[in-house]
């Protein structure tokens, strides 16, 4: 015990010797009567004020009583207040090396403000190093000595690079003096095995003292008068129970005026982070203390503005590590900045904003490494309103998230109407010291839900179950449920909650991204809407809402299945339009995967469509549909996924239901799903109606023609479909448009095949199976519950040739049956008519028909040319004169165009401007 007391006494003596402050500027008339620099009195053991003096003596000496009287009567310089002051704060990264300190010096000198007050942090990593010294000493780890030597060397080497002459010698002398004092104090801590809070605060504050002294010397090297301030002489704070401090503005203002009267200067370099208690005991401003220091100093001198220098260009609309398209916000109101920082955005700590709000002092956040960037201005909302139009988009300024949370839901009918229920719940939570981040409560108190950090939820649950044990046993309380693995997403904006449609837009964006919201909180402050989602959905949700509010592009992950003729044509169209869609329509279509039946190509960021075929050969892997879908849909950085099935494969179509159920949108020209078993079709449509997942298939009937959308438009506006009649096959349209005169039917089919209008086996077209599928799709869209088997097959393939071994054999034998088709043609011509292969949906009779019909030469169906399709809608409104849709109904270009149109329609539904 004796040795411990001796060590502490020894340490204290060293601390007492360290009480020195900066020399007061002495008027020439005083030089003879004050042989030693002025020193402020030492108020209490442990308050150490560092100065740059090289004098060995630290004791105030007067040669006579006359000296004292002269000193006390010295003329005081009054502190000027107002916007002539600009306050700058530089963090540890900004002063992390000699080179960076020089850059900071240049910024200070280039500021044309009349007066400048600069608040600096410790050099990068130094505060952590100082805390580490305490921890090592407390743990009786002697390596604290070598760790302190590393701190000494870091500052010594920086000073050698920065300073010279008397400034260098003075600083190094003070540095070694401080380090010797720290060694003595750390030795006492080592022996005691414990460090008090004031001892700890005293030790860690040295980093700021040293950086402020060096920076002031850097400015003086340019011939500019500059003083450095130990803010422990000025800032007085009262500790609170929440490990924070409350500034004493009145006392701090008095001390600042007193300090300035003795140290008048147009440039002051002040220490950040550190302060003193009213008893003059060293303390710190806790978390983000340097920013807080700058805001307090700005308020004390009523500065024109406070600039916080950091390593980012400003405040982002969302975390740029999660949302690549996050943008820098030009302005934020104080309240918006407050809300965003509460929810984890890298803005400012909420308490930093309080001092400047009082005097409407704007805060500018700027990047020291990008001086051309204007940064973000945090100011009074009226200024913000003038600078930005108050649209729905600008009202939602940004989004922030908090991860690693759990929801606690206390529920029971016995809670309803019972006074004090909420008080009892949160009293129990308070008793275990948990931090409640969000609360959502039903008005009846039947259910109270709140979010706490996941590491605290176990203690909270146990406390609640203990507190309400009787109510749980009696059934008045049904459960205390824990929902782990949650995240909070907050939308922040000035007055957004009072603007109609903002909440609807937010929740619509989440629903369309297939995000389930577990809890909601919206206060009457009008500055934020908070939702709780699954942790794994957090980034996806953030991307979705950020995109929806036009802060970034509407990004969709695209998977192409079937890169054949239609699929490859679609990829070419996507490549050609990609730049236009991004620049003009804010749509970013990322093809994340392309798969055929044998090979697939996957990408993490999007395939280069100008060379996808080459990439498929070089980097392609064995096709695996499950892996393909998981890859395209599993990218959490893209909120929306669409699979485009360009095949005619019924096996692929059988997956649509599962994809839609997982929140994957589906677009396809594949007719197999909608013309397959009726029950499967009805399941698909029911799922589509009850979710925000989209299933588009315009190209299944008319390639690029708007047939499905026209039919839906008629039905949705209350019209009644009577009949749909049309030429749905581009191949059969071409054949019968050219089957005239003396030309044989087989000859026309041969020309159509050579021109690429038919399938490789023309029987697939001549069988009418394609038309039957289109008719059944339209019949079902019209409300008829028909199976494909309900439509009689009327094939144009002669019966004997239906079993031909190959397409070549069929084509060789087809001329043998020309006579039958020639007779049908002649009969039609004799009657002044033409032959057309049509499909008909008779809604009145509830049936579908596919057959070869004859039409008068003045009928619209007789006016076709080439491979055009034509569809006539006879409805209650269009009964006398049917609504006609006509145009190219076949070919890779128009079919791919129809698919592309569906993709853009999906983008519009997901938030892209139309």
* pTM (whole model) above 0.75: no
State pLDDT tens for residues 777-827: 999 999 999 999 999 989 999 999 988 889 999 999 999 999 999 999 999
Lowest mean pLDDT among 163-172, 375-384, 790-799: 375-384
Number of Cα atoms under 13 Å in the Cβ half of residue 437: 29
Yes or no: say if 134 and 249 are a contact pair by the CB < 8 Å rule.
no
Q: What is the pLDDT of residues 247-302, one digit of tens each?
A: 999 999 999 999 999 999 999 999 999 999 999 999 999 876 899 999 999 999 99
pLDDT of residue 913: 61
Question: Could you say which of 742, 774, 813, 880 is catalytic?
Answer: 774
Is the pLDDT score of 18 beyond 90? no
Helix residue ranges per DSSP H, 221-288: 249-262
pLDDT tens, 91-103? 999 999 999 999 9
In the structure, what pLDDT confidence band is assigned to residue 55 with cuts at 50, 70 and 90? very low
Residue 61 has pLDDT above 90, yes or no: no
Asked whether the domain spanning 396-548 has the same topology as the one spanning 85-310, the reply is no
How high is the pLDDT of residue 444? Answer: 58
pLDDT of residue 870: 93
Q: pLDDT band at 416, cuts 50/70/90? A: low
Assess whether pLDDT exceeds 60 at residue 303. Answer: yes
pLDDT of res. 308 = 95
**pLDDT, mean of residues 378-397:** 60
Query: Given this model, what pLDDT does residue 555 score?
Result: 86
Q: What is the biggest distance separating any 2 CA atoms in the chain, rounded to whole angstroms?
A: 139
850-882 pLDDT per residue, tens: 999 999 999 999 988 888 899 999 999 999 899
- How is domain 707-890 classified at the architecture level of CATH? 2-Layer Sandwich (3.30)
Alpha helices in 389-537 (DSSP H): 392-395, 421-431, 457-467, 469-474, 502-512
Region 7-26 average pLDDT: 37
Q: Give the other-Cβ count within 10 Å of 736's Cβ.
A: 24
Instruction: Say what percent of the chain tops pLDDT 90.
Output: 61
pLDDT of 51 reads 37
**Taking 60 as the threshold, does the pLDDT of residue 49 lie above it?**
no
Q: pLDDT tens-digit profile of 463-501?
A: 999 888 888 888 888 888 999 999 999 999 887 766 788
pLDDT band at 889 (very low <50, low <70, confident <90, very high): confident
Which of 384, 340, 323, 313 has its CA nearest to residue 549? 323
pLDDT level of residue 748 (50, 70, 90 thresholds): very high
- Across residues 174-196, what is the average pLDDT? 95
pLDDT given for residue 126 in this prediction: 96
Measure the CA–CA gap between 391 and 400, rounded to whole angstroms: 20
Whether the per-residue pLDDT at 106 is higher than 80: the answer is: yes
On whether the CB atoms of residues 226 and 220 are closer than 8 A, the answer is: yes
Residues in the chain: 914
The Cα–Cα gap between 314 and 375 comes to: 5
615 burial type by CB count under 10 A (0-12 exposed, 13-18 middle, 19+ buried):
middle
Q: Is the Cβ–Cβ distance between 553 and 679 less than 8 Å?
A: no
Q: How many CB atoms lie within 10 A of CB 436?
A: 16
Asked which of 90-99, 377-386, 427-436 is least confident by mean pLDDT, the reply is: 377-386
The SS3 assignment for 268 reads strand
- For 19-33, 90-104, 179-193, 705-719, which range has the lowest pLDDT when averaged over its residues? 19-33
CATH superfamily of 554-702+902-910: NAD(P)-binding Rossmann-like Domain (3.40.50.720)
pLDDT band with cut points at 50, 70 and 90 for residue 66: very low
Q: What is the pLDDT of residue 390?
A: 47
The pLDDT confidence band at residue 154, using thresholds 50, 70 and 90, is: very high
Mean pLDDT throughout 22-35?
33
Q: Is 774 a catalytic residue?
A: yes
Q: What is the pLDDT of residues 624-661, one digit of tens each?
A: 999 999 999 987 678 889 999 999 999 999 999 999 99
Per-residue pLDDT, 180: 95
If one counts every other C-beta atom within 10 angstroms of the C-beta of residue 884, the result is 13
In a 10 Å sphere around its CB, with 0-12 CB exposed, 13-18 middle and 19+ buried, how is residue 435 labelled? exposed
CB 289 within 8 A of CB 348: no
Does 385 have pLDDT greater than 50? Answer: no
Give residues with Cβ within 8 angstroms of 421, minimum separation 6: 415, 445, 448
Return the minimum-mean-pLDDT range out of 52-61, 426-435, 896-905: 52-61
Q: Rounding to the nearest 10 degrees, give the CA dihedral for residues 177, 180, 185, 187.
A: 180
Strand ranges in 466-562 using DSSP code E only, listed in sequence order: 479-492, 519-522, 528-534, 554-561
Spans of all domains in the chain: 85-310, 396-548, 554-702+902-910, 707-890
- Whether the per-residue pLDDT at 404 is higher than 70: the answer is yes
Banded model confidence at residue 48, pLDDT cuts 50, 70, 90: very low
Confidence of residue 443 (pLDDT cuts 50, 70, 90): low
Stretch 827-847: mean pLDDT, rounded? Answer: 94
Pairwise CA distance, residues 318 & 541, whole Å: 12
For 502-543, the pLDDT digits (tens) are 888 888 888 878 889 999 987 655 688 899 999 999 988 998
Structure tokens at 855: 């039409």
CA atoms within 13 A on the CB side of 559: 29
At the second CATH level, the architecture of 85-310 is 3-Layer(aba) Sandwich (3.40)
Write phi, then psi, for 238 (nearest 5 degrees): -110, 120
Please give the class, per CATH, of domain 396-548: alpha beta
Mean pLDDT (the chain) is 85
pLDDT-wise least confident of 37-41, 187-191, 443-447, 708-712: 37-41
Average pLDDT over every residue of 159-175: 95
Is residue 547's pLDDT more than 50?
Answer: yes
């Amino acid at each position: 015990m004796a040795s411990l007391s001796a060590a502490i006494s020894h340490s204290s003596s060293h601390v007492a010797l360290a009480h020195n402050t900066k020399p007061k500027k002495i008027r020439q008339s005083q030089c003879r009567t004050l042989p030693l620099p002025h020193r402020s009195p030492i108020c209490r053991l442990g308050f150490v004020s560092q100065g740059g003096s090289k004098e060995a003596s630290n004791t105030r000496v007067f040669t006579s009583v006359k000296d004292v009287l002269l000193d006390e009567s010295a003329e005081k310089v009054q502190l000027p207040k107002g916007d002539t002051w600009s306050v700058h704060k530089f963090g540890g990264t900004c002063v992390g090396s000699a080179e960076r300190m020089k850059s900071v010096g240049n910024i200070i000198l280039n500021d044309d403000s009349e007066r400048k007050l600069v608040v600096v942090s410790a050099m990068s990593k130094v505060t952590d190093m100082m805390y580490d010294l305490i921890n090592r000493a407390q743990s009786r780890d002697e390596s604290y000595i070598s760790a302190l030597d590393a701190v000494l060397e870091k500052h010594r080497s920086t000073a050698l690079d920065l300073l010279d002459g008397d400034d260098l010698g003075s600083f190094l002398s003070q540095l070694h003096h401080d380090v010797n004092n720290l060694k003595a104090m750390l030795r006492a801590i080592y022996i005691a095995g414990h460090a008090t809070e004031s001892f700890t605060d005293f030790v860690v504050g040295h980093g700021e003292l040293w950086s402020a002294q060096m920076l002031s010397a850097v400015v003086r090297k340019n011939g500019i008068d500059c003083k450095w301030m130990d803010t422990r002489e000025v800032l007085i704070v009262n500790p609170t129970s929440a490990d924070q401090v409350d500034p004493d503005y009145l006392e701090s203002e008095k001390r600042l005026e007193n300090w300035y009267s003795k140290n008048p200067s147009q440039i002051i370099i002040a220490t950040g982070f550190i302060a003193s208690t009213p008893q003059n005991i060293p303390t710190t401003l806790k978390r983000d203390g340097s920013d807080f220091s700058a805001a307090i100093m700005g308020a004390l001198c009523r500065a024109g503005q406070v600039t916080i220098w950091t390593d980012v260009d400003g405040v982002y609309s969302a975390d740029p590590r999660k949302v690549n398209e996050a943008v820098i916000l030009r302005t934020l109101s104080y309240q918006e900045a407050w809300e965003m920082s509460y929810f984890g955005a890298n803005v400012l700590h909420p308490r930093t904003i309080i001092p400047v709000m009082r005097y409407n002092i704007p805060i500018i956040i700027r990047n020291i490494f990008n001086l051309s960037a204007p940064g973000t201005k945090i100011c009074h909302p009226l200024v913000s309103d003038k600078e930005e139009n108050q649209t729905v988009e600008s009202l939602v300024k940004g989004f922030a998230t908090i991860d690693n949370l759990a929801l606690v839901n206390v529920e029971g009918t016995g809670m309803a109407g019972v006074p004090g229920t909420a008080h009892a719940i949160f009293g129990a939570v308070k008793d275990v010291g948990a931090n409640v981040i969000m609360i959502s409560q039903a008005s009846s108190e039947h259910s109270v839900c709140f979010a706490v950090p996941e590491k605290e939820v176990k203690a909270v649950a146990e406390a609640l179950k203990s507190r309400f044990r009787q109510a749980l046993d009696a059934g008045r309380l049904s459960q205390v449920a824990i929902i782990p693995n949650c995240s909070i997403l907050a939308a922040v904006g000035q007055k957004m909650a009072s603007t109609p449609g903002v909440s609807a837009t937010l929740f619509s964006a989440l629903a369309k991204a297939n995000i389930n919201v577990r809890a909601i909180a919206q206060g009457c402050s009008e500055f934020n809407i908070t939702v709780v989602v699954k942790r794994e959905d957090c980034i996806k949700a953030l991307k979705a809402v950020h995109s929806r509010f036009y802060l970034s592009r509407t990004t969709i992950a695209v998977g192409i299945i079937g890169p054949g003729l239609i699929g490859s044509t679609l990829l070419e169209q996507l490549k050609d339009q990609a730049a236009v869609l991004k620049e003009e329509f804010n749509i970013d279509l990322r093809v994340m995967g392309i798969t055929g039946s044998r090979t697939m190509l996957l990408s993490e960021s999007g395939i280069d469509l100008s060379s996808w075929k080459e990439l498929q050969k070089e980097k392609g892997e064995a096709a695996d549909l499950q892996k393909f879908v998981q890859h395209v849909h599993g990218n959490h950085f893209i909120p929306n996924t669409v699979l485009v099935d360009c095949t005619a494969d019924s096996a692929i179509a059988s997956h649509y239901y599962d994809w839609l159920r997982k929140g994957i949108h589906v677009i396809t020209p594949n007719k197999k799903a909608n013309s397959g078993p009726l029950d499967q079709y009805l399941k698909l449509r029911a799922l589509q109606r009850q979710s925000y997942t989209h299933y588009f298939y315009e190209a299944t009937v008319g390639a690029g023609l708007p047939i499905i959308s026209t039919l839906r438009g008629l039905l949705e506006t209350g019209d009644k479909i009577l009949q749909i009649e049309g030429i749905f096959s581009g191949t059969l349209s071409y054949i019968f448009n050219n089957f005239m005169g003396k030309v044989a039917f087989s000859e026309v089919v041969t020309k159509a095949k050579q021109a690429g209008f038919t399938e490789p086996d023309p029987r697939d077209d001549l069988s009418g199976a394609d038309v039957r599928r289109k008719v059944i799709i339209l019949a079902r869209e019209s409300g008829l519950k028909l199976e494909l088997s309900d439509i009689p097959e009327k094939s144009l393939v002669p019966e004997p040739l239906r079993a031909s071994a190959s397409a070549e054999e069929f084509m060789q034998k087809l001329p043998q049956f020309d006579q039958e088709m020639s007779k049908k043609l002649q009969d039609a011509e004799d009657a002044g008519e033409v032959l057309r292969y049509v499909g008909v949906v008779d809604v009145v009779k509830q049936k579908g028909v596919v057959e070869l019909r004859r039409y008068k030469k003045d009928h619209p169906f007789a006016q076709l040319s080439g491979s055009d399709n034509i569809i006539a809608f006879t409805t209650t409104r269009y009964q006398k004169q049917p609504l006609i849709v006509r145009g190219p109904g076949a070919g890779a270009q128009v079919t791919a165009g129809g698919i592309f149109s569906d993709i853009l329609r999906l983008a519009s539904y997901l938030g892209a401007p139309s």
